[in-house]
Amino acid sequence: MRFLADMGISLRVVEWLRQKGHDAKHLREENLQRLPNGEIFKKAVQENRVILTFDLDFGEIVALSKGNRAGVILFRIQNARADHVIDRLEVLLREPPASFANRVVIVEEARYRTRQFPD
């Protein structure tokens, strides 16, 4: 799977994903830490990546976009430390949706919810 982590996600999470065999990038690694959310979304669509974020704006961006959409994994957890994010992500990736395209997956403390948007 291909991921793009925004600035709210630790580089350790990206490194963990790579160790698990995923193609993961962090905006900081590409010196794009100031990229606006709309441009992050476009980059994710162009590169066929799932956005990892704590930023609620991405749910709205997906809902309002037409045509090609990036998938978004939105963390709604209080503990944003890398170890906790990895624990929650590991649970999600054990049984991921068939595809993250056109979906926002909301990761909470005890569960995750998926919202799919029509093409």
What are the tokens at 109?
């403390």
Annotation: CATH topology of 2-116: Rossmann fold (3.40.50)
pLDDT digit string, tens, across residues 8-32: 999 999 999 999 999 999 999 999 9
Give the pLDDT confidence score for residue 116 in this predicted structure: 80
Name 75's bridge partners.
Answer: 107
Segment among 43-52, 55-64, 95-104, 109-118 with least mean pLDDT: 95-104
Task: State the pTM of this model.
Answer: 0.93
Q: Where are the domains of the chain?
A: 2-116
